[in-house]
Amino acid sequence: MADTLPTSRVGTPDIYQDLRQRLTMGGFAPGQKLLPGPLKDEYGCSANTIREVLLRLSAAGLAQYEDQRGFRAQAASAQRKSDLTKFRILLEQEGATASIRRGGIEWEAQLTAAHHKLSHIEAEIDRRGMEPPVVRLWCTAEWEFHDALGAACGSPFLRQTFRAIFDQFRQQHVTEAGKYGFATGNVAEHRRIVDAALDRDEAACRAQIHAHLERNLLPDS
C-alpha cells in the first residue's frame, strides 16, 4: 500500500544539507555544542544518524570534533578568518587564471549569467536592505558567481577544495553583526573581476580578486 509516512527516508541528504545551511548561515553560535540529543528529536531520527551527519560536517571543516567530547560549531577568530582568506585568494586566483587560459565561449556565458543574477540581487539588497528571504538568494548567487569564475579551470580538486574553503569563509563572516559578508562595495568589485576575466587579463583578474578580499586579511600576512 502507499506509504503513510511523510518522511523522505532516502539516506540522510536532507539532514546533511539542512545542517550545513544552518552552520553556514548563522544557525549556531561559533563555539556552540551540537548535541545529538535535541537534534535527533528535531529531525525525527536516531542519534546515530545525527552523529553520522556531524562527522561528515566536521570533515568538511564546518564543525569541530573532539574524541569523547562530542561536536561543536566551528570557532571563529580573526586569525582563522585571515588564513581562510589567504587560502581562498590563492585558490580563486588560480582557478580564474586557469579558466581564462582554458575557458571558451560557454564559460564566458556562464560567468556573465552568474554575474547578472548576482548584481540584480545585490541591487535589490541595496534598496530594501537584507531581509531573510533575499539573503538566502544572495548566498547561492554569490557562490554561483565565484564558482563560475573557476568553472573552466579543468581541475576537480581545485574546485572541490575551493568549495570547502568558501563555505568555511562564509561561516566565519555570518557570525559578525548579521552582515553575512555583504558590503556595499561588492557590486563594483564583482564587476571589475568579471571585466578583467572577460578581457583575458590574468594579472588584472588576480589583482581584482585580491582587492575584493583583502579587507579580511590581518595586517601581518
| CA neighbor of 62 nearest in space, from 12, 13, 14, 22 | 22
How far apart are alpha carbons 164 and 20 in whole angstroms?
A: 11
- In the complex, minimum distance from the CB of residue 96 to a second copy, in angstroms, rounded to a whole number: 13
Q: Which is nearer to a second copy, 61 or 181 (CB)?
A: 61
Residues 96-155 binding a second copy (CB under 8 A) are 154-155
* Of the candidate residues 23, 45, 91, 205, the single one contacting DNA (CB under 7 A): 45
Q: Which is nearer to DNA, 71 or 138 (CB)?
A: 71
Q: How many residues bind a second copy (CB under 8 A)?
A: 26
Torsion angle in degrees (nearest 10) through CA of 120, 191, 156, 93:
-150
How far apart are alpha carbons 26 and 15 in whole angstroms?
A: 16
Q: Which is nearer to DNA, 9 or 215 (CB)?
A: 9
Which CA distances in Å does 167 have to 57, 69, 139, 143? 11, 24, 10, 9
Which amino acid, one-letter code, is at 131? E
* Of the candidate residues 1, 9, 67, 129, the single one contacting a second copy (CB under 8 A): 67
Per partner kind, with CB cut-offs from 5 to 8 A, the member of DNA, a second copy, none near residue 46 is DNA
How far apart are alpha carbons 81 and 169 in whole angstroms?
A: 7
| CA neighbor of 52 nearest in space, from 82, 12, 21 | 12
Judged by CB under 7 A, the stretch of 35-43, 93-101, 115-123, 169-177 that binds DNA is 35-43
Per partner kind, with CB cut-offs from 5 to 8 A, the member of DNA, a second copy, none near residue 31 is none
Cell of 119: 548584481
- In the complex, minimum distance from the CB of residue 56 to DNA, in angstroms, rounded to a whole number: 11
The residue ranges that bind DNA (CB under 7 A) are 9-12, 33-37, 44-49, 51-52, 67-71
